Structure 1
């Protein structure tokens, strides 16, 4: 059994945050990301001590294994999501600093919750993750490794078992999808980038606040004015809770639907919270988080709403109370 005194153990354990960041961007699911990381470490510790010692760069070995595990999971996930009830939206990420009971920081042991290990930057905003869902597993992995985490194509090729030229072509195809969707991403590099500021961009936060206030007041005219006329709202209930199974298109239709929700759920509390590094809203009923909404904003209006209601995807949001 490994002990803290064994050479290289600190390096191996220290890779968990990087692997979790990598896996979440590849999979769009905290649960699946943690499963991938757990499987990666299981394979490491299943090796004999001489085989571990023979690995020149444990971090590179772990990243390669995690990448291949993610590729396998992406293939099976596509099949599962074809059978998913309604729309499938990536699992939303909280910013624990906004919740009572969040991590205190400092040099203590790393949290067991994978959500606490995800660096919040542009590569986890919901619009970007949704575009990643449109890619093939190979495109997504090649793009995340090269364009997001800045691995050279020669290293990407070794991780995915393809030629550098093939990986370059996959990343190019992925960039076309990003460009078509107009979902920019800032590369985060090997160190997984720079966290977003504690206070979100003032303009984005102000727009979401006005949206919240209009929804609370059931002011349909104000909501319509804040929504792009071509706005789209997508909800994810996973068949476990009631919600629309198809996207709601058009600013006025969305506004009317939101008022309908408010009428059906008296006592709904709306909280302004950071969702995947951007200003968002959390809806609570009787103190329980029932919906997490991420927003795509364009030209001073709300153009996209992603409302996650599947309780299995809201677990990271249910453990702490609001400040």
Structure 2
């Protein structure tokens, strides 16, 4: 086997891990693939005979490529001064909680990607590398060009933001019931989840059973431009739109109320609000104008 073939085989063995790392950094499968491919190009052009830990070397390269890509698309400039968030104590010497970090690391999903997208590039890199891939702060420091203590502080700030967002996101998956004269009835969260399941399965009859016969579906102008119907009336018409549809929204809290959100590249694109009366969905609102909408996706 030639050196090039050995290197290619070695790289392929690391590719899944490198792609996972880059995806968590970038929130886009396509960009993650680009970052990994760029890393292979750099590897194939480098002298690696003196590299003792090739996997660690590749991790560093992918992290740097992903960081550059993330910085290039960020509209807001990053403050390179190591400061804490307003009103929060400086805790760079505070010990990390391994159990807490493990819980956060296992919470990877669309919701976490949305939260990560609110971080600065350096914060995101420090959190992803340390909390999800166990990279030491000494190595992270060389990537972000800061001290190990500053790299620890970046991860700490990111961790606090994720912690603040996670409880809200998790409540979206909890069933909420309305108390009626005859006992508890299905609430929005239950119906939203059941609606999602029936839609994915193409269960026409199940969808019909959840919808009020006179249900109204309305979409905002931006959603209409994306190809969504402006208005539909009647359970049959609404069911035909959603039954068997190749979509993948997730349960969410939309302005504090249970609903569904479809996200792409880690960013919410469409929000589905449900109006429920007497255990049935009477209206669905589809929104693509989400700038002022508070969304917490279920992790």
Q: Normalised by the size of structure 1, how large is the TM-score?
A: 0.52
Q: Which residue does the alignment assign to 1:190?
A: none
Q: Which residue does the alignment assign to 1:303?
A: 258
Distance in structure 1 (CA, Å) of the matches to 2:60 and 2:231: 45
Report the CA distance shift for 1:202/1:133 in structure 2 as closer, same or farther (over 3 A): closer
Distance in structure 1 (CA, Å) of the matches to 2:231 and 2:114: 22
Q: Secondary structure at the match of 2:249?
A: strand
Larger RCO: 1 or 2 (CA < 8 Å, sep 6+): 1
Q: Secondary structure at the match of 1:52?
A: coil
Q: Normalised by the size of structure 2, how large is the TM-score?
A: 0.56
Report the CA distance shift for 1:78/1:124 in structure 2 as closer, same or farther (over 3 A): same
Distance in structure 2 (CA, Å) of the matches to 1:308 and 1:216: 25
Report the CA distance shift for 1:166/1:259 in structure 2 as closer, same or farther (over 3 A): farther
Distance in structure 1 (CA, Å) of the matches to 2:153 and 2:139: 15
For residues 152-201 of structure 1, give each alpha carbon's deviation from its aligned partner in whole angstroms, at most 9, with x where no partner exists: 2122223333211111111111112112213599xxxxxxxxxxxxxxx9
Instruction: Tell whether the 8 Å contact from 1:25 to 1:123 is kept in structure 2 after alignment.
Output: no
Report the CA distance shift for 1:207/1:262 in structure 2 as closer, same or farther (over 3 A): closer
2:150 to 143, 155, 166: 166
Instruction: Tell whether the 8 Å contact from 2:195 to 2:207 is kept in structure 1 after alignment.
Output: yes
Distance in structure 2 (CA, Å) of the matches to 1:261 and 1:302: 24
Q: Which residue does the alignment assign to 1:26?
A: 25
Q: Give ranges in structure 1 of 5+ residues lacking alignment.
A: 81-120, 186-200, 224-233, 245-256, 272-283, 314-323
Report the CA distance shift for 1:210/1:36 in structure 2 as closer, same or farther (over 3 A): same
Distance in structure 2 (CA, Å) of the matches to 1:153 and 1:184: 29
Q: Which residue does the alignment assign to 1:46?
A: 45
Q: Which residue does the alignment assign to 2:248?
A: 292
* TM-fit CA distance, 1:220: 5.2
- Residues paired across the two proteins, number: 209
| Structure 1 runs (4+) greater than 4 angstroms displaced | 205-209, 213-218, 257-266
1:58 to 54, 57, 75: 54
* TM-fit CA distance, 1:136: 0.6
Distance in structure 2 (CA, Å) of the matches to 1:59 and 1:11: 9
Distance in structure 2 (CA, Å) of the matches to 1:260 and 1:36: 46
Q: Which moved more, 1:60-69 or 1:157-166?
A: 157-166
Instruction: Tell whether the 8 Å contact from 2:192 to 2:260 is kept in structure 1 after alignment.
Output: no
Q: Which residue does the alignment assign to 2:226?
A: 241
Rg (Cα) greater in structure: 2
Instruction: Tell whether the 8 Å contact from 1:40 to 1:65 is kept in structure 2 after alignment.
Output: yes
Q: Give ranges in structure 2 of 5+ residues lacking alignment.
A: 77-104, 176-188, 199-205, 269-299
For residues 240-285 of structure 1, give each alpha carbon's deviation from its aligned partner in whole angstroms, at most 9, with x where no partner exists: 72469xxxxxxxxxxxx997698876633445xxxxxxxxxxxx2x
Q: Which residue does the alignment assign to 2:70?
A: 74
Instruction: Tell whether the 8 Å contact from 1:128 to 1:184 is kept in structure 2 after alignment.
Output: no
